[in-house]
A and B are shown apart, each in its own frame.
Chain A
Amino acid sequence: MKLAHSVAPPAAARHAADAVRTLAFLADLSQAFAVSLDLRKTLPEAITRVADFMQAEGASLFLLEPATRVLECRICVGPVDMTGVRLSIGQGVVGLAVAENATQIVTDAATDPRVWRAGDEASGFVTKSLLCAPLGTAAGPIGVIELVNRRDGHSFDAEDAEMLRLIAAPTSLAINNARMANELVEQQRMKREFDLARKLQKSLLPKRRRGVFPVLGVNLPAHEISGDFYDYFELPDGRIGFVVGDISGKGLDAALLMIRAASLLRWAGKDGIAPGAWLARANDELCETTHDGRFVCALVGYSDRDGNALQFAGAGFPPALVYRRGAFSEYASGGPPLGIMAGIAFEQHEVELNGGSLYAFSDGATDVRDADGKRLGNDGVRELIKRHATMAPDARLRALLSDLKHLKLVDDTTLLLIEKPRAHDAQVLLEHHMPARAEYLRDMRNALRKLLDQLGIEPALRDRLVLAVDEACTNIIRHAYGGQGAGGIGLRVSRADDVLSFELTDDAPCIDPDRMRPKPLGECRAGGLGVALIDTVMDTWHVEPASARCGNRLVLRKRIEDKGF
């Protein structure tokens, strides 16, 4: 093209040869870009090739920084190093190429007003001719490629401009691809960090205690990682320490503070010091090291082994609720959140639950929104607690969470429940009490059906189990109580491994178990069908005296397929 030929070939043949050479060069350039997404490696090589192919003395690449809208020279080959030179859009030939999104040719740099001459003055290099082509994607300009001085001493012409425009296309594409790849790598790196933080957080939550234990907690993060935490641990004197906390703010730094605060609060409570002093100790420690305006709301305390005598203190945490026989008591925090001001004392509460339950919940629970965007609030939470009060602790927390999930969760939500543990190894799923009267059977069936649905029991089996338990209640009403309409029936559903137990207790006179014999099914007779149905549906059943004096306990058992619930 620009090579000096001693004997000029005919024009048509020369053009054809140029076209082949051009195509080969563009292919090579694209290939070079495809080899690696590392622009630091591919771009300098590519710009050197462009300078050689175009027979230019120098070539440089300016990239537009999206945030500042400044063009910076990132790569430069040739006699003068322009790397680091920054131009605004519209400034110099380079800036104009972006501003007008058009190739710029300067044939006489000495007189052309578009030329930015500071570079020459500093280096002593004489710019004679310039050629600039904008680089861009569908989303807008990304930079400029610039050539300086043709090696043959001529100025750049329209043919050169067209060639550089062709070269600009694969260059833009390569830069754009590499940028997107980098963003992806960055996203993956952040995701890995979040995953790590989440794993670390989960590892801090206490393991569920098997058997008899008075403290139970659940945590429902609103986003990937949580700013909430809870913890419980056993002291040498038999008491159980508990912690529930909430970090202000969201995101990775809140998550990291949560990890620190959780460790700190656990450490501060290990000695068994009074809850107020426990909070004060953690507060002083946090104040020394937390200066970014973040703070920690927390409630800490101890429960005796029986889940009855409690001692606790709160720091900016929502009031703890004690629900006892249909009524609520509220216990407000005795000080501000932790990490704000050192040297503060925290008031503490001492409470005997006497059959009641203590609920501590982070403000995520009260911040839950209904369909109209209204906050659930303290009253709403009370309503939910009341609604599920008769359920066994595990099932109750699950039901509370499930209700909150159906509303709109805007913040992490954590619930801690403390109450007298039930002296039963099996996991109690439902406790339902009813007067021994037929019109209350329906409510019992509904409660049982709901539980079995929650457990994921398939409908046909669910209906048979409901029928069998209903038959058992019917039997108690008619035969144990003699249809008098007095007395009550207690139903407790529990689960040990894959066996569901349905335990029905009454305080009727002891019945003769021999009277409860199943009649053969298929016989067309009106009596004795109920026991036969129980016998068919359940794996095992038996009746025993509830106590030495009176009352009966009827236990029905059914093995179910474990669906991992």
Chain B
Amino acid sequence: MRGVAIDKTGVHMSGIASETIDGYVLIRLSGEVDLSWSQQVRHAVLAALESHPAVGVELSEVSYIDSSGIAALVEGFQNARARGSRFALVAVSDAVRAVLELARLDRVFLIISDPASLGEA
């Protein structure tokens, strides 16, 4: 167990994928977001904001998120606000919502329940 090299995007089904829906670049996260790859999340979010005026982070498949993962989302939010871009959290899983509530950040983000309604946001 201890010796298994953990592929940050493969072995444990954790990962980042992105697609474009209704003018949003949608970054899909899955698995457990922790210190081991939250920097990659941060880079992905900031890179998307660099080239797109609207970025969503889809979180329905995220079973765990720590403060470094939350920090990446906070940074995305701040970055978007500075640029005048749109930034939303999409389909937030219960696990993520619990941590957002614990950090009292659940009212800070624009949260969209369904990726299909991104166009209206």
- Using an 8 Å CB-CB cutoff, how does the interface string of B34-49 with A read, 1 for contact, 0 for none? 1111000000000000
A460 to B1, CA, bound (A): 27
Taking a contact as CB atoms under 8 Å apart, the answer to whether A524 and B35 are in contact is no
Taking a contact as CB atoms under 8 Å apart, the answer to whether A463 and B67 are in contact is no
A65 to B12, CA, bound (A): 70
What's the least CB distance linking B111 to chain A, in Å?
14
- Using an 8 Å CB-CB cutoff, how does the interface string of A533-552 with B read, 1 for contact, 0 for none? 10011000000000000000
The reply to whether the CB of B32 lies closer than 8 angstroms to some CB of chain A is yes
Known: A442-B6, A443-B1, A443-B2. A529 touches B67 (CB 8 A): yes
A525 to B75, CA, bound (A): 7
A443 (CB) vs chain B CBs: closest residue: B1
The reply to whether the CB of A376 lies closer than 8 angstroms to some CB of chain B is no
The reply to whether the CB of B77 lies closer than 8 angstroms to some CB of chain A is yes
Taking a contact as CB atoms under 8 Å apart, the answer to whether A440 and B2 are in contact is yes
A521 (CB) vs chain B CBs: closest residue: B104
Taking a contact as CB atoms under 8 Å apart, the answer to whether A529 and B71 are in contact is yes
Instruction: Tell me which of B22-30, B54-62, B94-102, B112-120 binds A.
Output: B94-102
The reply to whether the CB of A32 lies closer than 8 angstroms to some CB of chain B is no
A536 (CB) vs chain B CBs: closest residue: B102
Known: A441-B36, A442-B32. A524 touches B66 (CB 8 A): no
Using Cβ atoms and an 8 Å threshold, which residues of chain A touch B95?
Answer: 463
Using Cβ atoms and an 8 Å threshold, which residues of chain A touch B108?
Answer: 522, 524
A525 (CB) vs chain B CBs: closest residue: B74
Taking a contact as CB atoms under 8 Å apart, the answer to whether B6 and A439 are in contact is yes
The reply to whether the CB of A467 lies closer than 8 angstroms to some CB of chain B is yes
A470 (CB) vs chain B CBs: closest residue: B66
A13 to B8, CA, bound (A): 104
Taking a contact as CB atoms under 8 Å apart, the answer to whether A478 and B1 are in contact is no
The reply to whether the CB of B82 lies closer than 8 angstroms to some CB of chain A is no
Using Cβ atoms and an 8 Å threshold, which residues of chain B touch A439?
Answer: 5-6, 8, 36
A438 to B5, CA, bound (A): 12
A526 to B70, CA, bound (A): 8
A477 to B78, CA, bound (A): 26
Using Cβ atoms and an 8 Å threshold, which residues of chain A touch B32?
Answer: 442, 445
A525 to B12, CA, bound (A): 29
What's the least CB distance linking B104 to chain A, in Å?
4
Taking a contact as CB atoms under 8 Å apart, the answer to whether A463 and B74 are in contact is no
Number of B interface residues in the complex (CB < 8 A): 30
Taking a contact as CB atoms under 8 Å apart, the answer to whether A524 and B78 are in contact is yes
Known: A439-B6, A464-B102. A478 touches B71 (CB 8 A): no
B42 (CB) vs chain A CBs: closest residue: A526
B104 (CB) vs chain A CBs: closest residue: A522
Taking a contact as CB atoms under 8 Å apart, the answer to whether A445 and B64 are in contact is yes
A93 to B6, CA, bound (A): 89
What's the least CB distance linking A528 to chain B, in Å?
9
The reply to whether the CB of B21 lies closer than 8 angstroms to some CB of chain A is no
- Using an 8 Å CB-CB cutoff, how does the interface string of A515-529 with B read, 1 for contact, 0 for none? 000000110111101
The reply to whether the CB of B105 lies closer than 8 angstroms to some CB of chain A is yes
Using Cβ atoms and an 8 Å threshold, which residues of chain A touch B36?
Answer: 438-439, 441-442
A470 to B105, CA, bound (A): 19
Using Cβ atoms and an 8 Å threshold, which residues of chain A touch B8?
Answer: 439
Using Cβ atoms and an 8 Å threshold, which residues of chain A touch B103?
Answer: 521-522, 529, 532-533
The reply to whether the CB of A471 lies closer than 8 angstroms to some CB of chain B is yes
Partner of A467, one of B37, B75, B102: B102
The reply to whether the CB of A474 lies closer than 8 angstroms to some CB of chain B is yes
Partner of A533, one of B5, B12, B64, B67: B67
Known: A439-B36, A463-B95. A471 touches B67 (CB 8 A): yes
Taking a contact as CB atoms under 8 Å apart, the answer to whether A526 and B12 are in contact is no
What's the least CB distance linking A541 to chain B, in Å?
15
A529 to B67, CA, bound (A): 6
Taking a contact as CB atoms under 8 Å apart, the answer to whether B74 and A526 are in contact is yes
The reply to whether the CB of A335 lies closer than 8 angstroms to some CB of chain B is no
The reply to whether the CB of A530 lies closer than 8 angstroms to some CB of chain B is yes
A529 to B105, CA, bound (A): 11
What's the least CB distance linking A381 to chain B, in Å?
20
The reply to whether the CB of B68 lies closer than 8 angstroms to some CB of chain A is yes
Taking a contact as CB atoms under 8 Å apart, the answer to whether B67 and A530 are in contact is yes
- Using an 8 Å CB-CB cutoff, how does the interface string of A6-40 with B read, 1 for contact, 0 for none? 00000000000000000000000000000000000
Using Cβ atoms and an 8 Å threshold, which residues of chain B touch A464?
Answer: 98, 102
Using Cβ atoms and an 8 Å threshold, which residues of chain A touch B99?
Answer: 467, 533
Partner of B12, one of A442, A466, A471, A532: A442
Using Cβ atoms and an 8 Å threshold, which residues of chain B touch A521?
Answer: 102-104
- Using an 8 Å CB-CB cutoff, how does the interface string of B71-101 with A read, 1 for contact, 0 for none? 1101101100000000000000001001100
Known: A442-B12, A522-B104. A529 touches B70 (CB 8 A): yes
Taking a contact as CB atoms under 8 Å apart, the answer to whether B77 and A524 are in contact is yes
A440 to B3, CA, bound (A): 9
Using Cβ atoms and an 8 Å threshold, which residues of chain A touch B68?
Answer: 474, 530
B7 (CB) vs chain A CBs: closest residue: A439
Using Cβ atoms and an 8 Å threshold, which residues of chain B touch A530?
Answer: 66-68
- Using an 8 Å CB-CB cutoff, how does the interface string of A422-434 with B read, 1 for contact, 0 for none? 0000000000001
Partner of A474, one of B2, B67, B78, B104: B67
A560 to B34, CA, bound (A): 26
Which B residues lie at the A interface, using CB under 8 A? 1-2, 5-6, 8, 12, 32, 34-37, 64, 66-68, 70-72, 74-75, 77-78, 95, 98-99, 102-105, 108
11 contacts between A and B (CB under 8 A): A441-B35, A441-B36, A445-B32, A466-B64, A471-B66, A471-B67, A474-B34, A524-B77, A524-B108, A526-B78, A529-B70
With A439-B36, A442-B12, A464-B98 known, 7 other A-B pairs at CB within 8 A are: A438-B37, A442-B6, A445-B64, A464-B102, A522-B105, A522-B108, A524-B77
Q: Give 3 nearest A-B pairs by CB, closest first.
A: A522-B104, A438-B36, A438-B35
